[in-house]
């Protein structure tokens, strides 16, 4: 009897405390993208037996039900918040998970009364149907209707995919815009500009760490290395006139010099 009284499992856990623990587990699963089966793992159960031995760990079905409940609560709060917003902009994209499941995500952005930017993910839902312009437009319109944003959407921003552009043409109620970042990426990626700039920056950093270099070599040596690695002609200046060294060899410092 004495051992039973002293045992932590014999202590009564209040309903409020048990609910707090369950909610904390739910938040952990959601925020850290944990699988639902974690609550049924022996490691997790051992951990909970040390932290709260009197707590009964819920099943994965219970956690799933709680997640759905929290989602409904947060969605209701967001709907109330969005009713006071005059205009919003949306960003959307489709993507594929590691398990080759297709999804669509729609995020809203608005400025609140305190002039602070607010962003909320409205939906991330499976999209098994074909990603045609008609289907994508229907998904976006359905999301706008679900969150009572009719007449408030000013712009919808997406990438430069043809199906997204086609979806935009079927949504005349708002402006359709391509993502500037994605457009810029498409412009510079074919020419390898980003990789070239990163390579040149790396060469400069490595060169500057060599303290024995003379001042004129701070610019000259990295440029020579860079063009040699690129296997491209190195443009230098000879007696004030531009010439091209196609040998990709180290330039004779007595004959050539860089100006700048």
Q: For 123-128, what is the mean pLDDT? A: 94
- Residue numbers of the domain that contains 220: 193-245
Radius of gyration of the chain (CA): 30
Contact (Cβ atoms closer than 8 angstroms) between residue 111 and residue 118: yes
Comparing 124 with 235, the larger pLDDT belongs to 124
Helix (H) or strand (E) holding 202: helix 193-208
Q: How many structural domains compose the chain?
A: 3
Q: What pairs with residue 238 in β-bridges?
A: 241
pLDDT tens string 200-233: 667 666 665 655 555 555 555 555 555 554 444 4
The answer to whether position 163 is within a domain reads yes
The answer to whether position 259 is within a domain reads no
The answer for residues whose C-beta is within 8 angstroms of residue 27's C-beta and 6 or more apart is 70
The answer to whether position 204 is within a domain reads yes
Whether residue 175 is found in the same domain as residue 121: yes
Whether residue 169 is found in the same domain as residue 224: no
The answer to whether position 258 is within a domain reads no
Per-residue pLDDT at 132 exceeds 70: yes
Whether residue 163 is found in the same domain as residue 108: yes
Give the residue among 69, 79, 71 at the shortest CA–CA distance from 147: 79
The answer to whether position 251 is within a domain reads no
The answer to whether position 253 is within a domain reads no
The answer to whether position 250 is within a domain reads no
Whether residue 181 is found in the same domain as residue 93: yes
Q: What is the pLDDT of residue 85?
A: 94
Whether residue 133 is found in the same domain as residue 180: yes
């Amino acid at each position: 009897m004495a051992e039973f009284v002293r045992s932590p499992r014999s202590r009564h856990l209040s309903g409020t405390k048990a609910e707090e623990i369950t909610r904390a587990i739910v938040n952990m699963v959601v925020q850290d993208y944990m699988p639902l089966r974690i609550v049924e793992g022996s490691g997790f159960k051992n951990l909970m037996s040390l932290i709260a031995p009197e707590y009964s760990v819920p099943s994965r079905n219970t956690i799933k039900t709680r997640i759905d409940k929290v989602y409904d609560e947060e969605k209701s709060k967001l709907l109330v918040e969005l009713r006071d917003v005059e205009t919003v902009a949306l960003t959307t994209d489709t993507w594929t998970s590691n398990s080759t499941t297709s999804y669509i995500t729609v995020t809203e952005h608005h400025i609140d009364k305190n002039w602070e930017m607010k962003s909320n993910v409205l939906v991330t839902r499976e999209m098994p149907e074909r990603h045609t312009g008609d289907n994508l437009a229907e998904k976006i319109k359905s999301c706008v209707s679900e969150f009572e944003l009719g007449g408030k959407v000013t712009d919808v921003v997406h990438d430069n995919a043809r199906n997204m552009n086609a979806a935009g043409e079927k949504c005349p109620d708002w402006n359709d815009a391509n993502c500037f970042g994605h457009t810029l990426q498409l412009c510079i990626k074919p020419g390898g500009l980003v990789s070239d700039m990163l390579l040149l920056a790396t060469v400069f950093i490595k060169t500057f760490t060599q303290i024995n270099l003379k001042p004129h070599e701070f610019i000259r040596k990295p440029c020579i290395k860079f063009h040699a690695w690129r296997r491209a002609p190195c443009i230098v200046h000879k007696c004030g006139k531009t010439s091209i060294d196609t040998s990709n060899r180290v330039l004779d410092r007595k004959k050539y010099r860089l100006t700048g």
